[in-house]
Amino acid sequence: MVRSEVMSSAMRIERRQEEKSTRCVNYLMKPCERGLSVFLAPSGSADTDELIALAKVAARHNGMYISHMRSEGDALFEAVDELITISREAGLPAAIYHLKASGQKNWWKMDSVIAIIELPAMKGLR
């Protein structure tokens, strides 16, 4: 919603648009929202730095970062790493919607993905 309010689906927003996006998240977080929920298509129009900037605003309101990740298939490890990076850099807890490995050829990844998720949690990242 924030991105569609500020701009089209361009790959990277301009600085002026990013400032408007952060103001929008700040406004939405004030009354009752608890987090920044993100749906990313595989090509994901928002880059990691943009998501970190928006997540930092949610963090100021004790919110969390909730994501449909960029990939549940071939790039699953990279998608999990991105979520952890956003959580760490923005300083807020993160959650994954529908954690799964899509496609039988990726099923073997789940044990590793769970271990990747649990490691930062053991180090105190929420």
Integer Cα distance of 124 and 36 in angstroms = 21
Secondary structure (3-state) at 61 = coil
Could you read off the pLDDT of 86-119 as tens digits, one per residue? 999 999 999 898 899 999 999 999 999 999 999 8
Q: What's the pLDDT score for residue 68?
A: 85
CB count within 10 Å of CB 90 equals 23
Q: Which fold has domain 2-122?
A: TIM Barrel (3.20.20)
Half-sphere exposure of 10 (CA within 13 A, CB side): 10
pTM for this model (two decimals)? 0.73
Q: In the chain, where are the structural domains located?
A: 2-122
Cα 60 to chain centroid distance, Å, stands at: 16
